[in-house]
């Protein structure tokens, strides 16, 4: 008995697609195999590693946890959609390159989309905020140090390209295609969380363990010092 | 004057393609291929009684179903035992599809080929396999007790017993003023790259040749294995590595069952066939590592100097042993670290269990050895009331004692001979970096605030650049571009960038005119593979030697063309010129043209090499005896033994007095891998290794139930660290060049992970005052240790 | 890991959705966020014959702040609830708990109501609903029923949702003005399921806590008798908590450790609520 196909229409990186797919086709597979956009990768198929992260209507989601047919009318952005207009590296991608924030490159597409959306909403993160922003994606190669640096570098590049104006006139932040503008805020929602200590979802390993974590010893050198 | 690239933080040539989503990983290829899925055993130990495929046959899109009975030729033989050893008296490997018996959850029983993976899984889920349960042997204790056997013909579940020794350790320990005994344990983890395995095979019936893409660390070895297993001439088989999403050791094993079965099916079906491993499969049918149990006796003097060290350990090798004894041999030998052990005896038993096979994972047995030795050092320091760095310093091999022969045989079958390193200098740098001498006062200050902090350190030595050899090929094209290839493979280490840096410097050409291919048997056929931190040493040296060879040839051809002396020539920016007289020059592309005397010009540039255009001695043969046309060369590097890198890590942790949560506050690394070709790449390797070390110390543990079920076969429950679990990493380098290769380099790939568990255990012990002898350790484990410690103290 | 085949329905109105669900009976499952359902299907641990995709049904995504309660519609994503300023002002506990739910990327698609219907005692939202004496609104072709939180969660991953029913909203009752709240959790890694979590609600004379991962359903404990209006008597609180919790051991933590964490986190949550936002 063959599977009946369901019609679905969505855009990917601005290009419209009208498809007939088996309902169980995961969005990750539809992008990779039906549309041949293999930039998005599949690392676990249970929503944990984040390599499959794409933007749906501007918000990062796990494409391995979506059925493609459920995305009727959606605007999807993949890492291919975050290139520069000439097909070269977009600002987030360039930041990753400059900071050596990729080694094998398999997890990278999920980071790039996540970071692009994050910086659109939070253009100047602190070091710890930059780390928190990427805390939902696994990387086995880099140890994350350079990825955190890439978030900060991407923030610089995006700020530089937009000048002091902030966002482009069409509402999308620079570096993001038009259809990846921030999701419509629901009545009164703020983009930035208020500085409320109980809302800081710090991991056990970085949560303040008592009121005010002390500083490392005074003779500590700043991270990454290289005396070669 | 062009800047030398050797030693520069050159951005990677691999990046632009990868970062824009233009990578070509295995599953990105073969959109036209059929896809495979497997029925895998849900039981740890069982006989396969019957396979009923009736319901599966109704699935639309099914193409084929295969069991062991279908395998022909040599595909129905066991997979090879890759590294034999005289002590491996009871080596057992698996069949590509189970032949009547399964020995671990995940072992492949039936192969399904269908139009796509969804359909293949549908068919697989309808196949009914009847099993007769057998008792499962899980864990070192059960294997040792041997109440049940994994393999009927392997008594005691012992694959091998191996002893190495120098001097008489037992006597030295008995005669020593002080003695200690320790029991230590490291639990199983795994490489766990973000991309699993994958194989794509195409058989060309017209050419009668096989092209296989596989996500492997050794394309040349897979090629040999496939030719053997499939009964094909080697030159009718080519194996190409695509972009590979991480390896960390697990992809050095070969041939995987799927690497044999997918090409076999492709030939049989006359259609391309692809298999992309999913995450669950990777957990239960690739490989794990790290599980060992150690019993140590050590004798030492009043100064804390080792007089004798006796180590007995049990290594869990899983259900089969295709990779031989490499991991426990590395543990046995690298356990010694940068120290003189006095007399040393190490004995290990490699034991079968009904679990996934155990093969190298980054570090490959060194983390276990380092854990043991560093716990010994800390225990000695605690016993004598000495500073932990002082005890280590007293045991260090000194720089003037290099080369130092430990008197043992290393994993490459060669002497464990340390060639370089300055351990006292490295330790001094580490103490400075972390602020070792100031820590006591910091700890007191924290205590006053109700916080618990601790500091630990660990030192290791790593034999890198094992042989037997690697090679390089270089060709200058007539347009001046330089095409380089080496046979080993890449999984994200930036090899193409690093090797291009070497070529650019050695040959004198612009970096962006050099392109490098790795892991493609069509381009380079003789190689070993990428493992054991060997690429920079082996392929780096081979490529450097090759470039020098080609440079020499270029100079000789150019000397004739320029009517100059070879000694007066230099190559700068791709131009061969007379030193001090830049107008007298010829570019390398033109030299390439001249290197290949032609009868026919295929383009304008080539015209210059034709018989009437090129000046030539009419009495001399155009291509002399022993010469070859073309501006190209091949060379190999084959060292007499490994070259020894080393490193030392210091960690500051904080533990929560109430919740027992453990947090790494600082992670400091001093690292000596000889000369650095690209410091950015080396640091990236260290970062990644450190993250895996933190993972192995605090989060990662394969949880096997007594019946052999893997309880945490997913990323939800096998906990790899996110960015929030890995601290910023502070690195300082020391450079003691290797005397063994032309570049002075030592391997760097595995270094970051080796001392992680040891250093973190030491820091937790320092914070808590509780002995830590087992890793990994979770907050729950620490809570239970605290309770046991408190009740011991209460009853003391 | 590919899911098995199913029949797919994409209703465009609530009535259409309810009609389809009625006709499918036991064979129909609702697809909203899918963040729990899809991986179960990919692992072939769940194989519903039919999915009713409600993502295109209008009118279900609202977050309504009323005088007595915050009502969250079926399609309100966790992130929408989390970032809703009015909801936060009315009921800070929602956001305090939501930031512990997985990672932001999961929260962008997963729905708060979906998490409640999934009924995992190790999840944060069921505990919050119970602590606030909330309820779930269940609609079917036959009509509507409102089920109080205490009656909704029946066991691990088992709720009172019946075949043919769609949970269209969850109502989180607002605590008395001046109440304070906090949510604390210990997880193995950032974003993981709680090893133990505690939501605390403190009014002038009352303290109530709900515990995550400490029993087959969320455990709510009234600690008022251990509270003097200023400080919690931690020994007394410990006894009250111990009487109610049934921690289990698993590969991540022993039962004893979980019990210990419950004691620690209850005290911490109550202390932390003192320095937190007061509900409007």
Q: How many helices (H) and strands (E) does chain C have?
A: 11, 14
Sign of CA dihedral C34, C39, C41, C45: negative
The residue among B623 and B380 whose pLDDT is bigger is B380
* Strand arrangement, sheet containing C143-148: C63-65, C69-73, C166-173, C135-140, C143-148
Position B513 confidence tier, pLDDT thresholds 50, 70, 90? very high
- Judged by a CB distance cut-off of 8 A, whether residue B717 touches chain A is no
Chain A contacts in chain B segment 625-654 (CB below 8 A): 652, 654
Q: Which of C170, C169, C184, C181 is nearest to C91 (CA)?
A: C181
Return left, alpha or beta for B61; rule: phi > 0 is left, psi -120 to 50 is alpha, else beta.
Answer: left
Specify the DSSP class assigned to residue B716.
Answer: T
Mean pLDDT across chain C: 95
Q: What is the pLDDT of residue A202?
A: 32
Domain boundaries, chain C: 7-54, 63-173, 180-272
Show which subunits contact A, needing at least 3 CB pairs below 8 angstroms: B, C
| C252/B780 touch (CB, cutoff 8 Å), yes or no | yes
Chain segment A27-53, per-residue pLDDT in tens: 999 999 999 999 999 999 999 999 999
Average model confidence (pLDDT) across chain A: 79
- Tokens read off for C52: 């009713």
Q: Is B26 on the interface with A (CB under 8 A)?
A: no
Q: What percent of chain B has pLDDT over 90?
A: 92
pLDDT tens digit string along B732-779?
A: 999 999 999 999 999 999 999 999 999 999 999 999 999 999 999 999
Contacts of C272 in chain A (CB under 8 A): 197-198
Q: Which residues pair with A6 in a beta bridge?
A: A21
| Residue B711 CA: distances (Å) to CA of A43, A127, B93, B778 | 19, 36, 25, 17
Contact A64 C51 (CB under 8 A): no
Whole-number Å distance between alpha carbons of A212 and C185: 18
* Contact between chains at B438 and A218 (C-beta distance less than 8 A): yes
The tokens for A23 are 């309902």
Which pLDDT belongs to residue B326?
A: 97
C144: closest CA of chain A, how far (Å): 26
In angstroms and rounded to an integer, the radius of gyration of the C-alpha atoms of chain C is 19
Q: CB distance A47–C4 less than 8 Å?
A: no
- Note the pLDDT of residue A169: 39
Residue ranges in B102-256 assigned as alpha helix (H): 117-125, 140-145, 169-175, 219-230
| Nearest-5° Cα angle at A128, A122 to A131 | 80
On chain A, the residues whose CB falls within 8 A of the CB of B442 are 216-217
How is residue A192 written in tokens?
A: 């930035």
Counted across chains B and C, CB pairs separated by less than 8 A come out at 64
Q: Among all residues of chain B, which has the CA nearest to that of C250? A: B711
Residues of C in contact with B787 (CB under 8 A): 256
CB contact set of C18 (below 8 Å; sequence gap of 6+): C139, C140, C141, C164, C166
CA of C223 to nearest chain A CA: how many angstroms apart? 21
Please name the residues in contact with B468: beta carbons below 8 A apart, sequence gap of 6 or more. B412, B528, B638
> Are B726 and A136 inside 8 Å of each other by CB?
no
Task: Tell me the mean pLDDT in the region B462-478.
Answer: 95
Chain mean position to CA C40: 19
- Per CATH, the homologous superfamily of domain C180-272 is CO dehydrogenase flavoprotein, C-terminal domain (3.30.390.50)
pLDDT at B310 over 90: yes
Look up residue B513 and give its two tokens.
């005119």
Check CB contact under 8 Å for B712 and C251.
yes
Query: By the 8 A CB rule, do B252 and B532 touch?
Result: no
Helix, strand and coil in chain B, % to nearest 5: 35, 25, 40
pLDDT tens readout for residues C116-168:
999 999 999 999 999 999 999 999 999 999 999 999 999 999 999 999 999 99
Cβ <8 Å between A224 and B439: no
* Tokens 């002396």, located at residue: B565
Structure-token match 């052990």, residue found? B341
Closest-CA residue in chain C for B784? C257
Give the minimum alpha-carbon distance from B119 to chain C in angstroms, rounded to a whole number.
9
Question: Which pLDDT does position A219 carry in this prediction?
Answer: 32
> Out of A14-28, B73-87, B135-149, B574-588, which region has the weakest mean confidence (pLDDT)?
B574-588
Please state, in angstroms and rounded to a whole number, the distance separating the CA atoms of residues B66 and B99: 12
Interface partners of chain C (CB pairs < 8 Å, 3 or more) are A, B
Per-window interface: C 142-171 vs B, CB < 8 A: none
- All structural domains of chain A: 6-81+178-222 (3.10.20.30), 83-161 (1.10.150.120)
Answer for the pair B173, B308: CB distance below 8 angstroms, yes or no.
Answer: yes
Q: Is the pLDDT assigned to residue B787 strictly greater than 90?
A: yes
Pairing type for strands C166-173 and B158-166 reads: unpaired
Q: What confidence tier does A189 reach under pLDDT thresholds 50, 70, 90? A: very low
Distance, CA of B287 to CA of B280 (rounded, Å): 12
What strand order describes the sheet that includes B101-102? B101-102, B46-52, B128-133
Residues from chain B that touch A41, judged by Cβ atoms under 8 A, are: 25, 194-195, 245
Record: contact A59-C108, CB cut-off 8 A: yes
Q: Min CA distance, B435 vs chain A (Å)?
A: 6
| Nearest CA-CA distance, residue C190 and chain B, Å | 7
Question: B110 pLDDT exceeds 70?
Answer: yes
Minimum-distance CB partner of A143 among B666, B687, B730: B687
The pTM of the full predicted model, rounded to 2 decimals, is 0.94
CB-based contacts of C112, cutoff 8 Å, min separation 6: C72, C76, C77, C78, C81, C98, C125, C170
Helix intervals (H) in A11-90: 27-29
State whether residue C67 sits within 8 Å of chain B by CB: no
| Separation of alpha carbons B648 and B427, rounded Å | 7
Distance CA A29, CA A66 (A): 10
User: How many angstroms separate the CA atoms of B465 and B530, rounded?
Assistant: 10
User: Which residue in chain A has the smallest CA separation from C7?
Assistant: A23
Cα–Cα distance measured from residue B29 to residue B436, given in angstroms and rounded to the nearest whole number: 52
Q: Angle at CA B716, nearest 5°, toward B713 and B720? A: 90
What pLDDT score was predicted for residue B615?
Answer: 65
pLDDT band at B602 (very low <50, low <70, confident <90, very high): confident
Residue B448: closest C-alpha in chain A: A214
Tokens, residue B650: 């210091």
Assess if CATH 3.40.50.300 describes domain C63-173. no
Average pLDDT over residues C270-280: 66
Query: Does this complex have an ipTM over 0.90?
Result: yes
**b/e per residue A132-166 (b: at least 16 CB within 10 A):** bbbbbbbbbbbbbbbbbbbbbbbbebbbeebeeee
For residue A122, give how far its alpha carbon lies from the nearest alpha carbon of chain B (Å). Answer: 18
Token couple for A155:
């923030």
* Length of chain C as a residue count: 280
CB contact under 8 A, B731 and A83: no
Q: How far apart are CA B190 and CA B185, in angstroms?
A: 16
**Nearest CB to A145 within list B12, B451, B728:** B728
Distance CA A137, CA A148 (A): 12
In CATH terms, the fold of domain C7-54 is 3.30.43
**Among partner residues A97, A144, A226, which is closest to B16 by beta-carbon distance?**
A97
Residue A112 and residue A123: Cα distance in Å, rounded? 15
pLDDT, tens digit (0-9, with 9 covering 90-100), for A109-167: 999 999 999 999 999 999 999 999 999 999 999 999 999 999 999 999 999 865 444 44
Which of residues C18 and A168 earns the better pLDDT score?
A: C18
Interface test with A, best of C93, C104, C269, C270 (most A CBs within 10 A): C104
Partner-chain contact A51 B491, CB within 8 Å: no
Q: How far is B150 from chain A (nearest CA, A)?
A: 31
User: Domains in chain B, start-ordered, CATH in brackets?
Assistant: 32-134+197-244+250-285 (3.90.1170.50), 292-466+640-795 (3.30.365.10), 470-637 (3.30.365.10)
pLDDT at B75: 97
**A213 has a pLDDT exceeding 50:** no
- Reported as a single tens digit per residue, the pLDDT across C175-228 is 999 999 999 999 999 999 999 999 999 988 899 999 999 999 999 999 999 998
Instruction: Compute the nearest-CA separation of C2 from chain B (Å).
Output: 6
Q: Report how far residue C106's alpha carbon sits from residue C103's, in angstroms, rounded to the nearest whole number.
A: 5
How many Å lie between the alpha carbon of B511 and the closest alpha carbon of chain C?
40
Test mutation, A62, A114, A210, chain C, max C CBs within 10 A = A62
Q: Could you tell me the pLDDT band of residue B796, with boundaries at 50, 70 and 90?
A: low
Predicted local distance difference test score (pLDDT) of residue C231 = 87
How far is the C-alpha of A79 from the C-alpha of A111, rounded, in Å? 9
What is the pLDDT, as a whole number, of residue B613? 73
CA distance A91 to chain B (A): 11
Q: Which residues of chain B does A46 touch, with a Cβ-Cβ cutoff of 8 Å? A: 279, 714-716
Q: How far apart are CA B583 and CA B491, in angstroms?
A: 44
Cα separation, C270 vs C171, whole angstroms: 24
User: Are B132 and B47 contacting, i.e. CB atoms less than 8 angstroms apart?
Assistant: yes
Instruction: Name the neighbours of B, counting chains with at least 3 Cβ pairs within 8 A.
Output: A, C
Residues of chain B with C-beta less than 8 angstroms from the C-beta of A96: 15, 19
């Amino acid at each position: 008995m063959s599977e009946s196909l369901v019609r679905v229409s969505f855009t990917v990186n601005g290009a419209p697609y009208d498809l007939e797919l088996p309902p169980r086709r995961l969005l990750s597979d539809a992008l990779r195999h039906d549309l041949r956009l293999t930039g998005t990768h599949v690392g676990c198929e249970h929503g944990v590693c984040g390599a499959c992260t794409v933007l749906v209507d501007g918000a990062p989601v796990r494409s391995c946890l979506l059925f493609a047919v459920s995305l009727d009318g959606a605007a999807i952005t993949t890492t291919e959609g975050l290139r520069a207009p000439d097909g070269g590296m977009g600002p987030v991608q360039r930041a990753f390159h400059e900071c050596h924030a990729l080694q094998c490159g398999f997890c990278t597409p999920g980071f790039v989309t996540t970071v692009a959306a994050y910086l659109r909403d939070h253009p100047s993160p602190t070091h710890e905020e930059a780390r928190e922003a990427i805390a939902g994606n696994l990387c086995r190669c880099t140890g994350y140090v350079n990825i955190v640096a890439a978030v900060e570098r991407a923030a610089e590049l995006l700020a530089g390209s937009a000048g002091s104006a902030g966002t482009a006139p069409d509402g999308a932040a620079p570096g993001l295609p038009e259809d990846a503008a921030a999701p419509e805020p629901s009545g009164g929602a703020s983009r930035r969380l208020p500085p409320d200590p109980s809302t800081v979802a710090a991991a056990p390993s970085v949560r303040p363990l008592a009121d005010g974590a002390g500083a490392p010893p005074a003779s500590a050198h700043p991270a990454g010092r290289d005396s070669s | 004057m062009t800047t030398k690239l050797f030693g520069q933080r050159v951005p990677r040539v691999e990046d632009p393609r990868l970062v824009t989503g233009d990578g070509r990983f295995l599953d990105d290829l073969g959109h036209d291929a059929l896809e495979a899925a497997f029925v895998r055993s849900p039981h740890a130990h069982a006989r396969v009684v019957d396979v009923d495929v009736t319901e599966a046959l109704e699935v639309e899109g099914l193409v084929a179903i295969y069991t062991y009975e279908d395998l022909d030729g040599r595909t129905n033989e066991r997979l090879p035992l890759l590294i034999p050893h005289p002590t491996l008296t009871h080596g057992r490997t698996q069949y590509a599809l189970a032949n009547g018996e399964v020995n671990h959850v995940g072992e492949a029983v039936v192969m399904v080929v269908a139009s796509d993976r969804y359909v293949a899984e549908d068919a697989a889920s309808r196949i009914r396999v009847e099993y007769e349960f057998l008792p499962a042997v899980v864990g070192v204790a059960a294997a040792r007790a041997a109440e049940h056997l994994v393999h009927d013909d392997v008594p005691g579940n012992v694959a091998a017993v191996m002893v190495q020794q120098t001097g008489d350790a037992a006597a030295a320990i008995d005669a020593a003023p002080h003695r200690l005994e320790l029991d230590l344990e490291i639990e199983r983890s795994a490489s766990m790259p973000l991309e699993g395995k994958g194989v794509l095979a195409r058989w060309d019936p017209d050419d009668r040749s096989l092209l296989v893409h596989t996500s492997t660390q050794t394309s040349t070895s897979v090629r040999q294995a496939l030719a053997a297993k499939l009964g094909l001439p080697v030159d009718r088989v080519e194996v190409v590595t695509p972009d590979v999403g991480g390896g960390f050791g697990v992809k050095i094993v070969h041939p995987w069952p799927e690497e044999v079965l997918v090409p076999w099916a492709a030939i049989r079906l006359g259609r391309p066939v692809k298999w992309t491993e999913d995450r669950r499969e990777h957990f239960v049918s690739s490989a794990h590592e790290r599980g060992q149990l150690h019993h140590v006796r050590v004798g030492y003097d009043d100064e804390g100097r080792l007089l004798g060290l006796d180590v007995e350990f049990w290594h869990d090798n899983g259900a089969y042993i295709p990779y031989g004894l490499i991991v426990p041999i590395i543990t046995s030998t690298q356990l010694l670290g940068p120290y003189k052990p006095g007399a040393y005896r190490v004995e290990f038993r490699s034991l079968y269990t009904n679990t996934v096979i155990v093969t190298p994972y980054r570090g490959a047995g060194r983390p276990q050895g380092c854990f043991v030795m560093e716990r010994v050092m800390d225990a000695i320091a605690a016993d004598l009331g000495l500073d932990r760095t002082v005890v280590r310093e007293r045991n260090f091999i000194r720089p003037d004692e290099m080369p130092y022969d430990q008197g043992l045989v290393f994993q490459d079958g060669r002497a464990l001979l340390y060639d370089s390193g300055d351990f006292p200098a490295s330790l001094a740098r580490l103490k400075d970096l972390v602020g070792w001498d100031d820590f006591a006062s910091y700890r007191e200050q924290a205590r006053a605030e109700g916080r618990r902090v601790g500091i630990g350190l660990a030192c290791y030595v790593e034999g890198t650049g094992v042989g037997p050899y690697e090679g390089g090929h270089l060709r200058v094209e007539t347009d001046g571009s330089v095409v380089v290839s080496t046979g080993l493979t890449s999984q994200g280490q930036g090899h193409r960038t690093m090797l291009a840096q070497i070529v650019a410097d050695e040959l004198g050409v612009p970096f962006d005119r050099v392109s490098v291919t790795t892991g493609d048997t069509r381009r380079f056929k003789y190689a070993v593979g990428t493992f054991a931190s060997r690429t920079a040493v082996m392929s780096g040296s081979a490529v450097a030697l090759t470039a020098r060879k080609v440079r020499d040839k270029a100079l000789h051809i150019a000397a004739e063309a320029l009517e100059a002396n070879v000694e007066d020539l230099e190559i700068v920016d791709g131009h061969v010129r007379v030193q001090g007289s830049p107008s007298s020059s010829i570019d390398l592309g033109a030299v390439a043209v001249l290197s290949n005397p032609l009868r026919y010009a295929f383009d304008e540039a080539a015209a210059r090499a034709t018989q009437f255009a090129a000046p030539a001695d009419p009495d001399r043969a155009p291509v002399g005896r022993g010469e070859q046309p073309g501006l190209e060369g091949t060379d190999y590097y084959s060292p007499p033994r490994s070259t020894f890198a080393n490193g030392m890590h210091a960690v500051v942790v904080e533990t929560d007095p109430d919740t027992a949560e453990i947090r790494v506050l600082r992670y400091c690394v001093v690292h000596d891998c000889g000369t650095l070709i690209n410091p950015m790449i080396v640091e990236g390797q260290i970062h990644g290794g450190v993250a895996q070390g933190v993972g192995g110390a605090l989060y990662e543990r394969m949880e096997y139930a007594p019946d052999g079920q893997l309880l945490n076969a997913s990323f939800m429950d096998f906990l790899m660290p996110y960015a929030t679990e890995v601290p910023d990493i502070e690195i300082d380098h020391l450079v003691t060049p290797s005397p063994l290769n032309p570049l002075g380099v030592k391997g760097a790939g595995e270094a970051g992970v080796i001392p992680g568990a040891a250093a973190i255990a030491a820091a937790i012990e320092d914070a808590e005052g509780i002995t830590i002898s087992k890793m990994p350790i979770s907050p729950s484990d620490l809570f239970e240790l605290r309770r046991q410690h408190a009740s011991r103290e209460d009853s003391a | 890991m590919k899911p098995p085949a199913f029949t797919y329905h994409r209703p465009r109105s609530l009535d259409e959705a309810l009609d389809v669900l009625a006709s499918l009976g036991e064979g129909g499952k609702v697809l909203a966020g899918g963040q729990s359902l899809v991986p179960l299907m990919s692992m072939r641990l769940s194989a519903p014959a039919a999915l009713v995709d409600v993502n295109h049904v209008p009118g279900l995504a609202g977050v309504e702040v009323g005088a007595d309660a915050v009502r969250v519609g079926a399609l309100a994503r966790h992130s929408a609830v989390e970032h809703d300023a009015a909801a936060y002002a009315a009921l800070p506990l929602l956001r305090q708990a939501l930031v512990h739910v997985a990672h932001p990327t999961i929260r962008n698609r997963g729905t708060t109501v979906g998490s409640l219907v999934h009924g995992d005692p190790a999840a944060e939202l069921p505990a919050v609903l119970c602590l606030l004496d909330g309820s779930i609104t269940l609609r079917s072709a036959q009509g509507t029923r409102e089920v109080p939180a205490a009656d909704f969660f029946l066991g691990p991953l088992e709720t009172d949702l019946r075949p043919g029913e769609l949970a269209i909203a969850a109502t989180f009752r607002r605590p008395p003005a001046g109440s304070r709240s906090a949510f604390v959790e210990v997880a193995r890694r950032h974003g993981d399921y709680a090893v133990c979590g505690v939501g605390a609600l403190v009014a002038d004379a009352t303290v109530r806590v709900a515990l995550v991962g400490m029993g087959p359903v969320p455990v709510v404990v009234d600690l008022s008798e251990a509270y003097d209006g200023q400080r919690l008597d931690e020994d007394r609180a410990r006894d009250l908590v111990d009487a109610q919790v049934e921690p289990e051991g698993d590969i991540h933590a022993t039962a004893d450790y979980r019990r210990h964490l419950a004691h620690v986190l209850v005290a911490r949550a109550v202390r932390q609520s003192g320095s937190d936002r007061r509900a409007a």
